Structure 1
Amino acid sequence: MRAIVDRLEGDVAVLEVDGDRYVDAPLAELPPGVREGDVLDGEPGSWVLNEDEKNRRLAQNADLMSRLFRR
């Protein structure tokens, strides 16, 4: 299962799970230092950060923005 941290609200993270639903997860159940935009793999209670996927998504978005606003 894959989740993207959509936003942080107090001690809860709102996760977009598998691109089709949103769930709330207590920050205490997520890896320390989790931030908006982080990619998590696993399942509730055993999420791990996926830095490679996060970096791939950031690069893909930067490329898209560059092509959209190229003069």
Structure 2
Amino acid sequence: MWILDRIEGGIAVIETEEGRLELPRQQLPPDVKEGDVLVQTGSGICVDAAETSRRREKIAERYRRLRSKP
């Protein structure tokens, strides 16, 4: 699983299970955003919308729980 960490200039910085990967921004879908989960397919790299949504909800829930603690 790859997660887009940030875009610096024309370089996309991606976190992978093996470490950090840097790719030209043009190799990613035009609508990609920081935090998106990316998958490599036979036709290139695409956003896994379902996994991205699941991870964002999980993070939001953790944040809500942290904020509710006294």
Q: TM-score range by the shorter chain?
A: 0.7 to 0.9
Query: Identity, % of aligned pairs?
Result: 35
In the alignment, what sits opposite 1:21?
19
User: Partner of 2:54 in structure 1?
Assistant: 56
Q: Does 1:6 align with 2:15?
A: no
2:39 is aligned with 1:41: yes
User: 2: distance between equivalents of 1:37 and 1:8?
Assistant: 11
User: Where does the alignment leave 5 or more consecutive residues of structure 2 unmatched?
Assistant: none
How big is each residue's C-alpha offset from its partner over 1:32-54, in whole Å with a ceiling of 9 and x where there is no partner?
A: 121211110116x8111101111
The Cα RMSD (Å) is 1.6
Number of residue pairs matched by the alignment: 68
Task: Output the amino acid matched with 1:13.
Answer: A
Q: Secondary structure at the match of 2:62?
A: helix
- Listed as ranges, the gaps of 5+ residues in structure 1 are none
Moved over 3 A (4+): none
